Amino acid sequence: MYKAGEKPNGTIIRKHFNAIKKEQFPFTYDVTKCATDQPFRNLQKSFDKFFDDWKNKRIVSYPQFKKKRDNAGSFYLQSSEIRLSETNKNSKAFEKLIHNQKQKHQYLHLPNLDWIKMAEHIRFNNAKIENACISQKDGRFYVSFSLQITDEEYKRTHPHTHSIDSKRKVGIDVGIKSALMLSDGISIENPKPLKKNLRKIKRLSKQLSKRVHPKTKEERLQGVKKSNNYMKLSVKLAHAQGRVANVRRNFLHKVTTILTTHYGEIAIEDLNVKGMTKNHHLAQAVNDVSFGELHRQIKYKAKTNGIKVLLVDRYFPSSKICSVCGEKKDDLTLRDRTYHCEKCGAVLDRDYNASRNLLGQLVNHKIGTDDPESTPADLTALLSRFSINGIATSKVETGKQQKSHVSGEPACIL
């Protein structure tokens, strides 16, 4: 259609597929119809984005097929195909169930399958299920629900949204040694999940490469298949890689939720992540922190909670400017972890100095002025939430060192 000058349409292509699937693809009748209908809707969205990018002269990306992967895949279900129960209706215990009693597990019924026990309950009350996605990752199966809830239910399940104070402001400097440095003087430790599991992943990868499998395209065409030992070991490797992703995702969701439900305004630097990953000495560490995902979560959670987010220009020299007097230090390098101001004598942690400069952009776009400080009660509550969620933090000195130009002696020591 595209080569003939026509505009591809997912609905038309789906009609052609439905006309031939009974003869050419009879296996599609063994599963729910949603599994084959939804991909055409996704195809239509991809074509719409493709032509919209072409029209607005943005980066054009033609729709691509999903790759087939071992122990991975997903399919979509409409709400009419989904049923939930507090127990397995095929079991004998169902007849003795007291419906008013809260059960330990919840069961999901899927088309052409029996009742399946879920690991946890849906935590929203009176929620309307819009759709669900069944996926397989790392040899495990997951169900992701899309639910429609009320504002009251959202506030009940997100109690900290009531404690948002619009007067609380914070500047956030992201880094590698400390994942985040707040202008309140709180340093949030980087969990470094990839670095901690890299040795195991390398070992499993070397073992996997020695198992029987098609190593070239020619071997694959000759019919060389993956051995059972290869499939078993690939699951172990997927579990190790999945653990890294889960630890990183858990950390990012917890820390961004706490920040966007505690502060009313947030200033964060708009980093060039793609350019940073071109430095092969820093690429692995940058990807381990996942700066891009951190920014994305802060943006959408701030929009949900009505929080203001200021993205400071990436070329703003937040690390090189003294947050006390505004003097710029052009010879500052990455090895300098402490900022020494030669003009006013201030000695500050490098990342803390940068976070204060970002906060200054949020407050009044001036350097060297007094920034709003959180009360001890606010800091205690914030540190308590970090501790409860298992996020390691540390406190940096927030004092200032002023050097007397007359006597040459420091007037205030950190």
pLDDT > 90? residue 19: yes
Task: Say whether both 221 and 370 belong to one domain.
Answer: yes
pLDDT > 70? residue 401: no
Task: Say whether both 46 and 181 belong to one domain.
Answer: no
Tell me the per-residue pLDDT of 89-139, one tens digit each, with 9 for 90 and over.
Answer: 665 554 444 444 556 778 888 888 888 888 888 888 888 899 999 998 877
Please check whether residue 411 lies inside any domain of the structure: no
Tally the domains of the chain.
2
Tell me the per-residue pLDDT of 366-382, one tens digit each, with 9 for 90 and over.
Answer: 544 456 677 888 888 88
pLDDT > 70? residue 407: no
Q: Are 377 and 165 in contact (CB under 8 A)?
A: no
pLDDT > 70? residue 400: no
Task: Say whether both 254 and 379 belong to one domain.
Answer: yes
pLDDT > 90? residue 229: yes
pLDDT attached to residue 412: 35
- Please say which residue of 65, 87, 112 terminates a domain: 65
Please check whether residue 46 lies inside any domain of the structure: yes
Please check whether residue 41 lies inside any domain of the structure: yes
Task: Say whether both 164 and 59 belong to one domain.
Answer: no
pLDDT attached to residue 274: 82
Please check whether residue 343 lies inside any domain of the structure: yes
- Average pLDDT of 250-277? 90
Of 87, 83, 116, residue with least CA distance to 101: 87
- Please say which residue of 14, 44, 65 terminates a domain: 65
- Please say which residue of 50, 65, 80 terminates a domain: 65
Please check whether residue 332 lies inside any domain of the structure: yes
Of residues 323 and 191, the one with the higher pLDDT is: 191
Q: What DSSP letter does each residue of 320-369 carry, written as one string? A: TB-TTT--B-TT--TT--EEE-TTT--EEEHHHHHHHHHHHHHHTS-SSS
- Average pLDDT of 4-28? 89
pLDDT > 90? residue 244: yes
User: Among 87-91, 248-252, 360-364, which range has the highest average pLDDT?
Assistant: 248-252
pLDDT attached to residue 228: 93
Task: Say whether both 163 and 292 belong to one domain.
Answer: yes
Task: Say whether both 59 and 181 belong to one domain.
Answer: no
Tell me the per-residue pLDDT of 60-73, one tens digit each, with 9 for 90 and over.
Answer: 888 888 888 877 88
Interatomic CA distance for residues 209 and 234, integer angstroms: 10
Tell me the per-residue pLDDT of 29-56, one tens digit each, with 9 for 90 and over.
Answer: 888 888 888 889 989 999 899 889 988 8
Interatomic CA distance for residues 320 and 341, integer angstroms: 10
Please check whether residue 121 lies inside any domain of the structure: no
Assigned token pair, 144: 């992701």
Task: Say whether both 298 and 185 belong to one domain.
Answer: yes
pLDDT > 90? residue 413: no
- Side chain identity at 412, as an amino acid letter? C
pLDDT attached to residue 160: 82
Give the residue numbers spanning the domain of 194. Answer: 158-395
pTM for the complete prediction?
Answer: 0.81
Share of the chain above pLDDT 70, in %: 89
